[in-house]
Structure 1
Amino acid sequence: MSDRQFEQQSLTVAVVGDVHEQWEREDAEALKALEVDLVLFVGDFGNECLRVVRAIADLDLPKALVFGNHDAWYSATHWGRKKCPYDRLTEDWVADQLEITDDFHVGYAHLDFPEYGLSVVGTRPFSWGGPEWKYAEFYRDRFGVNSMEESRDRILAAVRETSCDTIIFLGHNGPYGLGSLPEDPCGRDWNPIGGDFGDPDFQEAIAATRQLGKTIPLVTFGHMHHNLRHTKQRQRRSTHVDATGTLYLNSACVPRVIVTETDVKRNFSLVSLENGVVTDARLVWLDRHFQAIAQQILYENPGKAMRQLA
């Protein structure tokens, strides 16, 4: 199916924010109850949590994922390796995660969804965020990548391999350039307070993708949680729209599952697209019966509002 045929369709994408071991069979049932077309996972499933990764692999819906920093918690850092709960001489949980998700993991890779007229491109997997090139040994040994520039080039190589001209970017941490206030989508809200903690390789890959003639309706990620550390008076700004109309969505509303004495509430970010353009994005909370009990409108395309008034 071509991008032109896709323009006659509408599409609902569910973005699952940082999981942190909060995934169970009911989450898969909730996604089916929402009747979503595509599910995107931004990573941080747990501290190299194979149980959750296996459960997500069993999800019977079109899907794509990237891994977050917690998904290499015992492998990427010296202090993590010291705390590793398994024998690293005989086991490798990072490699196991990559093998389990081989069909739908898009870190430094892509998946084409021709039935929807779009491709999903993943950015640097296992990102810790920020402008510094961290954990060089991990990226050298696992991916043969030695710098931000090489990382950008790996992302762009995946873009060039896509079969569709409409691209959704999926990352764990967001791109540099979305603001430097602590409440911005990738703003640093721990000491020293303030500063843009986005990924420069991600930002540069987005700019280069546009130069290739590709359209980018949505860039989505997590990592930087909505609840801020430096204040409880407000939450992180979860969306940003650039001059081209691309929606940037931070989906990390953590905890994404809240258990009370009488109910279990779980959240998903839902993004609607029409004609290859994002029309709206919302954060939805479902109860244990998968009924919507709360909804927050995160973004509404001005063109949609004008059509409704016409």
Structure 2
Amino acid sequence: MTSQKTNSKNLKIAVVGDVHDQWEEEDGIALKHLGIDLVLFVGDFGNESVEVVRAIACLDIPKAAVMGNHDAWYTATEWGRKKCPYDRTKEDWVQQQLDLLGESQIGYGKLDFPDLNLTVVGGRPFSWGGPEWKYSDFYQQWYGVTSFEESTTRIVSAVKSAAYQTIIFIGHNGPTGLGDRPEDPCGKDWHPIGGDFGDPDLAEAISQTITTGKIIPLVTFGHMHHSLRHTKKEPRKRIFRSPEGIVYLNAASVPRIVEHGSHKQRNFSIVLLEDGVVSQVSLVWVGKDFSIVYEEILYQKPTLVVQNA
């Protein structure tokens, strides 16, 4: 039975952008220091980096994750299989990653969080982005999915099985519809430059979810790194707020760990959820003593202006 109760608890959610092999024990400690209620991973842990995934799977904080295109780097394409560093007849690093994450890996699935009164739904796992259906053999073999339409159906099916009215979507790549400039959240910033490189199946699934009356405060993803290839004059646009009030967050701040002298700083995207609505989004950098050394406010909920008659 679906819970109709509104989400009245104030929550602090961390979104970990594309990891690309940058995950350390200190990251888990930092999340504890930040007082995180829920941590969301948007994929690209590394190139089928089983040990990175193993470390993240051990994280003792409520979590959900989707896999990125790099997480099937040696499996999904012919050229990747040719570069594969392990014996594919004896090992399967994609399956090992999925086994390690267990129920917290929610690509084409969902995870209900009773203590938080919300459900997190995963978009298409291992997404590469863009308007063409790629990795067709891979998706047929692993998921029995052969098209964007079938992919949308899988995501919507997960929504329909959600226990709660409040739905947070996570994907490796964001949905189409957030702009076609190269600087937009899912904009294509390599040659030929420009164009919406979002996932059409995720966009359609969100659209269908809106019509069911579910509450969607947040859609978060990565894949398209904040630092742009074609210009250093501006970063990628990280936030988009839809007319329905849904906040879309690109969390792919890469590299997510940088060295400052003898010390390291690590970044997390922090989302504050108040009464089921996103009130603030920031990008924080945590220093050696796990304190925030820099915070960039990316979004704050608009305040209502009451006009006198």
TM-score bin, normalised by smaller chain: over 0.9
Superimposed CA distance per residue, residues 70-113 of structure 1 (whole angstroms, 9 cap, x where no aligned partner): 00000001100000000001111001111111120010000001
- Residue matched to 1:45: 45
Instruction: Give unmatched runs, 5+ long, in structure 1.
Output: none
Looking at structure 1, the residues matched to 211 and 22 of structure 2 have their Cα atoms a distance apart, in angstroms, of: 39
Partner of 1:157: 157
Instruction: Kindly provide the amino acid, as one letter, of the partner of residue 132 in structure 2.
Output: E
Tell me if structure 2 keeps the 8 A contact 1:3–1:118. Answer: no
Counterpart of 2:201 in structure 1 is 201
Are positions 1:76 and 2:73 aligned together?
no
The AA in structure 1 aligned to 2:7 is F
* Paired residues for 1:189-268 under 5 Å: 189-268=189-268
1:30-179 equivalences in 2 (<5 Å): 30-179=30-179
Q: Which amino acid aligns with 1:57?
A: A
1:6–1:115 contact (8 Å) kept in structure 2: no
Which one-letter code corresponds to 2:100 in the other structure?
Answer: I
Off by >6 Å, runs of 4+ in structure 1: none
User: How many equivalent pairs are there?
Assistant: 305
- Structure 2 residue identity aligned to 1:209: T
CA distance in 2, matches of 1:286, 1:65: 22
Aligned to 2:292: 292
Q: Which runs of 5+ in 2 are unaligned?
A: none
Q: Which residue number in structure 1 is paired with residue 7 of structure 2? A: 6
Partners in 1 of 2:202 and 2:69 — Cα distance? Answer: 16
In 2, Cα distance between equivalents of 1:161 and 1:301: 30
SS in 2 for 1:6: coil
Return the offset for 1:261.
2.2
What TM-score comes out, normalization by structure 2 length?
0.97
Distance apart, 1:301 and its partner CA: 0.2
CA distance in structure 2 between the aligned counterparts of 1:3 and 1:116, rounded to whole angstroms:
13
Aligned partners of 2:199, 2:174: CA distance in 1, in Å? 6
Alignment check: 8 A CA contact 1:280 1:300 kept = yes
Contact 1:47 1:73 in 2 (8 A): yes
What's the C-alpha RMSD, in Å, of the aligned pairs? Answer: 1.3
Deviations 1:237-283 (A, max 9, x none): 00000000000000000000002322100000000011110001000
SS at match of 2:282: strand
Q: Deviations over 1:102-143 (max 9, x none)?
A: 120010000001211110000000000001100100000011
2:222 and 2:250 in contact (8 A); partners too: yes
SS, match of residue 126 in structure 1: coil
Task: State the secondary structure of the residue aligned to 2:102.
Answer: coil
Seen in structure 2, the aligned counterparts of structure 1 residues 3 and 12 have a Cα distance that, compared at 3 Å, is farther
Q: State TM-score, norm by structure 1.
A: 0.96
- Residues in 1 aligned to 2:29 and 2:202: alpha-carbon distance in whole angstroms: 33
Offset of residue 3 of structure 1: 5.4
Whether the aligned pair in 2 keeps the contact of 1:111 and 1:120 (CA below 8 Å) is yes
Q: Distance in 2 between matches of 1:214 and 1:131?
A: 27
Match in the other structure for 1:20? 20
1:5 Cα deviation (Å)?
Answer: 5.9
Q: What SS does structure 2 have at the residue aligned with 1:213?
A: coil
Percent identical among aligned pairs is: 59
1:306 to partner: Cα distance: 6.2
Counterpart contact for 1:46–1:71, Cα < 8 Å: yes
